């Protein structure tokens, strides 16, 4: 099966790597994908995964899968497993390069003692509040801590006692001694170690002292021999600190940090805080709710790894703020599935049609291609009998201009079958159309056009006696505003939740061949869109399909 060839335009990071390879600065490149295991991965992470893992496939090199687990308070093994599954599903293999920042805790600690020995780090024994006040503001310089000039011996002793658990949380911290009046606030003696008497998901109770991100990340990169450390724009201000730490210590190499802009996708949210809130407050069923922009949600919804890769290629890599249309993502899955998906007919909102000239005991076995453009994929059986279902909105008593479907007295083609004419419209007491009586033209089977008339419309249908009932879940965007919350003073994104983001249709009818549908395969329900079995809720005797995305519809009417 062919997947779409991604459009490859170059970007500044690829250019840098090419130059480094050509100049001989590096023989191969090493990257890393470093999530904190405190939430599920989302499509923004996918952008980073495709970048980091993709680059090393494109050039020679390898990529580390590294968990940045320096803050045991928020982290959890559940997230670790979910993240590994997601990265793997996207198509990447880290081989034996699965690491954790916590693997380096001892080495990091030793480096810290080294810093102290050099007089480049000190133990501060002030309260968190004092440290914050002394940091200064954006426009005012910071002031020195009274503990800044402690002796090396005292610093070392205190630091060792911090490690051995003699002090309570918050009693002391270790700070890098850099520059309290730097215009870059990150350089005003940043805290690099804090006491946290909590159990770490990997190291247990071995440590009660945990290193901070800025100190940990650069050293982990250096220890792994990372050549290019790719991160998002908000870390740009941290780069001087990244470089400072590595410059002080005897490390194997000095990776280059390069920043790119994070993904912003309209009609959804991509911040961990907000995604957690959606899950915890029950606005969605779970992390893998098919409306979620998480990788697991997209997977359950029916998105393919190939479609997400296409998306990553399309949006590109740059340093500019971006605001991607949701339609770009939707178009990627359409493009991928168009060639892959077997075709089927399904009626979501059924309207009964009786074919008057079809005897009650008549059953005709028609068939149709699995995929019209790929005849070698075979054919599927399509039974026809006297009673069929068509889509409710494929009939209109009072049609708008340009309506190509069925109208009273009019003709339409049943897809893969005959042309029918509507003879009679049956309504219930309230005036609602509940049944159509039609006659079919037996001389209009496959490949045969009706004589002397043009039939423009084609509608899908299923045989009532043969159809399989199923529940179908129609999904729409989770939020009704492109930038959720932006119109409210408190930026409350929940107020923009789309109340119609999921519609459940429990009376849908499927062509009988769909009884063989498999989880993980997307089907095109002709004229409607792409659908797949819900991996959680579908059962063999009660099928549940998710709508992945609609087909494009250039007809504005309805």
Longest CA–CA separation in the chain, Å: 102
Cβ 364 vs Cβ 381: under 8 Å = no
Instruction: List binders of RNA among 439-468 (CB under 7 A).
Output: 444-448, 457-458
* Residues belonging to the active site: 36, 262, 272
Q: How many residues bind RNA (CB under 7 A)?
A: 92
Q: Based on CB atoms, which residue is closest to RNA, 1 or 7?
A: 7
Measured CA to CA, the distance from residue 538 to residue 536 in angstroms comes to 6
Cβ 439 vs Cβ 357: under 8 Å = yes
Cβ 508 vs Cβ 529: under 8 Å = no
The three-class DSSP label of residue 197 is coil
Q: Based on CB atoms, which residue is closest to RNA, 62 or 343?
A: 343
Q: Which of 271, 327, 362, 469 binds RNA (CB under 7 A)?
A: 327
Q: Which of 24, 365, 452, 555 binds RNA (CB under 7 A)?
A: 555
Asked whether position 326 contacts RNA by CB under 7 A, the answer is no
**Smallest distance, RNA to C-beta of residue 410, A:** 12
Q: Based on CB atoms, which residue is closest to RNA, 33 or 475?
A: 33
Asked whether position 482 contacts RNA by CB under 7 A, the answer is no
Residue 534: CB atoms within 10 Å? 20
Measured CA to CA, the distance from residue 282 to residue 516 in angstroms comes to 33
Measured CA to CA, the distance from residue 500 to residue 516 in angstroms comes to 30
**What would the x/- binding string for RNA be over residues 187 to 226, using CB under 7 A?**
---xx--xx--------------x-xxx-xx---------
Cα-based distances in Å from 500 to 274, 294, 320, 476, 477: 20, 20, 33, 7, 8
Tokens at residue 539, please?
A: 């059962």
Instruction: List binders of RNA among 72-131 (CB under 7 A).
Output: 74, 126-128, 131
Asked whether position 338 contacts RNA by CB under 7 A, the answer is yes
Asked whether position 557 contacts RNA by CB under 7 A, the answer is yes
Q: Which of 36, 76, 435, 537 binds RNA (CB under 7 A)?
A: 36
Asked whether position 527 contacts RNA by CB under 7 A, the answer is yes
Measured CA to CA, the distance from residue 160 to residue 446 in angstroms comes to 84
Rounded to 10 degrees, what is the CA torsion of 339, 344, 345, 347?
Answer: -90
Q: Which of 20, 114, 331, 363 binds RNA (CB under 7 A)?
A: 331
Asked whether position 343 contacts RNA by CB under 7 A, the answer is yes
Instruction: List binders of RNA among 162-181 (CB under 7 A).
Output: 169-170, 173
**Smallest distance, RNA to C-beta of residue 285, A:** 26
Cβ 143 vs Cβ 131: under 8 Å = no
**What would the x/- binding string for RNA be over residues 43 to 72, using CB under 7 A?**
-------------------------x-xx-
**Smallest distance, RNA to C-beta of residue 181, A:** 10
**Smallest distance, RNA to C-beta of residue 59, A:** 16
Stretch that binds RNA, among 11-19, 197-205, 295-303, 539-547 (CB under 7 A): 11-19
Q: Which of 97, 404, 437, 536 binds RNA (CB under 7 A)?
A: 404
Q: Based on CB atoms, which residue is closest to RNA, 62 or 340?
A: 340
225: left (phi over 0), alpha (psi -120 to 50) or beta: left
Stretch that binds RNA, among 274-282, 368-376, 491-499, 533-541 (CB under 7 A): 368-376
Q: Which of 21, 98, 253, 324 binds RNA (CB under 7 A)?
A: 324
Q: Which of 9, 199, 500, 506 binds RNA (CB under 7 A)?
A: 9
Among 474, 458, 473, CA closest to 390: 458
Residue identified by tokens 């990257």 is 31
Asked whether position 315 contacts RNA by CB under 7 A, the answer is yes
Asked whether position 237 contacts RNA by CB under 7 A, the answer is yes
Residue 420 C-alpha from the chain's centroid? 44
**Smallest distance, RNA to C-beta of residue 20, A:** 15
Tokens at residue 496, please?
A: 């923009």
Q: Based on CB atoms, which residue is closest to RNA, 69 or 289?
A: 69
Measured CA to CA, the distance from residue 160 to residue 101 in angstroms comes to 21
Cβ 192 vs Cβ 124: under 8 Å = no
Asked whether position 318 contacts RNA by CB under 7 A, the answer is yes
**What would the x/- binding string for RNA be over residues 487 to 526, using CB under 7 A?**
-------------------------------------x-x
Backbone angles phi, psi at 204, to 5 degrees: 60, -130
**Smallest distance, RNA to C-beta of residue 482, A:** 10
Among 526, 524, 548, CA closest to 535: 548
Tokens at residue 510, please?
A: 């499927």
The three-class DSSP label of residue 551 is coil
Q: Based on CB atoms, which residue is closest to RNA, 33 or 502?
A: 33
Instruction: List binders of RNA among 141-160 (CB under 7 A).
Output: none
Q: Based on CB atoms, which residue is closest to RNA, 133 or 247?
A: 133
**Smallest distance, RNA to C-beta of residue 89, A:** 22
Cβ 56 vs Cβ 64: under 8 Å = no
Q: Which of 22, 23, 95, 373 binds RNA (CB under 7 A)?
A: 373
Residue 8 C-alpha from the chain's centroid? 21
**Smallest distance, RNA to C-beta of residue 104, A:** 13
Among 121, 102, 144, CA closest to 191: 121
Backbone angles phi, psi at 452, to 5 degrees: 70, 10
């Amino acid at each position: 099966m062919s997947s779409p060839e991604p459009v490859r335009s170059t970007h500044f990071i690829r250019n840098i790597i090419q130059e480094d390879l050509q100049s001989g600065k590096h023989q191969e490149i090493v990257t890393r994908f470093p999530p904190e295991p405190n939430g599920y991965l989302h499509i923004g992470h996918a952008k980073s995964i495709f970048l980091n893992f993709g680059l090393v496939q494109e050039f020679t090199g390898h990529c580390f899968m590294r968990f940045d687990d320096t803050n045991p308070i928020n982290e959890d093994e559940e997230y670790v497993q979910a993240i590994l599954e997601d990265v793997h599903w996207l198509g990447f293999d880290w081989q034996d390069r699965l690491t954790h920042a916590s693997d380096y805790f001892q080495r990091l600690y030793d480096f810290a003692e080294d810093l102290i020995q050099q007089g480049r780090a000190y133990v501060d024994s002030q309260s968190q509040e004092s440290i914050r006040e002394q940091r200064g503001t954006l426009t005012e310089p910071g002031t020195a801590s009274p503990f800044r000039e402690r002796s090396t011996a005292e610093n070392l002793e205190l630091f060792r006692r911090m490690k051995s658990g003699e002090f309570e949380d918050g009693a002391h911290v270790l700070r890098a001694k850099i520059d309290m009046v730097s215009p870059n606030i990150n350089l005003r003696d940043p805290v690099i170690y804090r006491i946290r008497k909590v159990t770490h998901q990997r190291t247990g109770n071995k440590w009660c002292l945990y290193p901070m991100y800025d100190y940990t990340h650069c050293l982990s990169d250096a220890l792994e021999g990372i050549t290019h450390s790719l991160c998002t724009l908000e870390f740009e201000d941290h780069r001087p600190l990244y470089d400072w730490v590595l410059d002080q210590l005897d490390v194997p190499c000095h990776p280059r940090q390069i920043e790119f802009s994070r993904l912003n996708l309209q009609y959804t949210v991509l911040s961990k805080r907000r995604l957690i809130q959606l899950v915890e407050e029950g606005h969605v069923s779970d992390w893998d709710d098919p409306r979620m922009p998480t990788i697991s949600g997209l997977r359950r919804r029916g998105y393919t790894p190939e479609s997400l890769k296409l998306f990553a290629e399309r949006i590109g890599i740059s340093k500019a703020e971006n605001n991607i249309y949701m339609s770009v993502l939707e178009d990627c899955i359409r493009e991928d599935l168009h060639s892959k998906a077997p075709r089927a007919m399904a009626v979501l909102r059924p309207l009964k049609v009786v074919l008057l000239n079809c005897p009650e005991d008549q059953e005709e076995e028609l068939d149709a291609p699995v995929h019209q453009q790929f005849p070698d994929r075979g054919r599927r059986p399509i039974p026809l009998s006297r009673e069929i279902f068509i889509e409710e909105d494929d009939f209109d008593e009072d049609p708008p201009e340009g309506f190509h479907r069925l109208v009273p007295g009019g003709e339409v083609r049943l897809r893969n079958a005959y042309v029918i004419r509507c003879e009679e419209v049956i309504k219930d007491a309230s005036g609602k159309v509940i049944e159509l009586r039609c006659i079919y033209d037996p001389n209009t089977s496959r490949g045969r056009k009706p004589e002397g008339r043009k039939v423009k419309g084609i509608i899908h249908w299923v045989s009532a006696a043969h159809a399989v009932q199923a529940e179908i879940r129609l999904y729409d965007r989770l939020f009704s505003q492109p930038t959720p919350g932006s119109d409210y003073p408190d930026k409350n994104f929940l107020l923009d939740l789309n109340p119609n983001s999921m519609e459940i249709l429990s009376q849908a009818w499927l062509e009988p061949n769909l009884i063989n549908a498999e989880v993980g395969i997307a089907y095109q329900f002709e004229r409607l869109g792409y659908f797949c079995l819900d991996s959680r809720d579908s059962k063999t005797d009660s099928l549940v399909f998710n709508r992945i995305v609609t087909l494009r519809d250039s007809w504005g009417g309805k």
